Chains A and B, each alone.
Chain A
Amino acid sequence: GQSLEQPSEVTAVEGAIVQINCTYQTSGFYGLSWYQQHDGGAPTFLSYNALDGLEETGRFSSFLSRSDSYGYLLLQELQMKDSASYFCAVTGGGNKLTFGTGTQLKVEL
């Protein structure tokens, strides 16, 4: 089976940097994705790591260590609009995404 663990809630102030961690146990692994979901909205793709290392996309960066079964999403220069749920997801066999339970990020003034 597959399981992913991430913190349930993170709070940070506007302009700060926040890191959301994700550890996973999987029977098949092609890559780790990150999605953002605002209340009432659909998950929006943020980043994907298939290989070890850091991927940077604007204010968002994602890191993967396959040997440690660990990844993180780094959000810089936090803005109020970044308040949302963030999910890590493993791409396993076929095109199946297994999602973590999600991290609720609250950005405060």
Chain B
Amino acid sequence: KAGVTQTPRYLIKTRGQQVTLSCSPISGHRSVSWYQQTPGQGLQFLFEYFSETQRNKGNFPGRFSGRQFSNSRSEMNVSTLELGDSALYLCASSIGATDTQYFGPGTRLTVL
């Protein structure tokens, strides 16, 4: 069974731009969660989607948003990029609630 895939793997943007990251979960997994990882803040939860509905949201500004499609694929969008948004963005999928989460390879975003 294929693992979680994320595209693109690397991205360079400039301040003020917006970016969309994509995540395809493991087949059969209906929950997709997004995390931001930085050296200073560690791994932080952004939000979680299940059956196209956002079920949980972390403490991030409204510039961070996401959505999930009927095939469970998910996208996250960051608008008006700031230098501090440079991070590794990780997507994780699980079968349902409180199940083990499996991570994708991440998208490394650099904001210049």
Contacts and interface: CB of A to CB of B under 8 A. Distances in A.
**A, B in one complex:** yes
Interface of A: 30-31, 33, 35, 41-45, 48, 87, 89, 91, 93-102
A103 to B, nearest CB: 12
A42 B48 contact: no
A95 B35 contact: no
Interface of B: 31, 33, 35, 42-45, 48, 50, 55-56, 58, 90, 92, 94, 96-106
A45 to B, nearest CB: 6
Given A30-B98, A42-B90, A91-B98, A96 B103 contact: no
Given A31-B98, A94-B97, A95-B50, A42 B42 contact: no
B45 A45 contact: no
B22 to A, nearest CB: 15
Given A42-B106, A43-B103, A95 B94 contact: yes
Nearest to B47: A96
A48 B43 CA distance: 18
Nearest to A35: B103
A43 B50 contact: no
Contact of B103 (A42, A48, A93, A98): A42
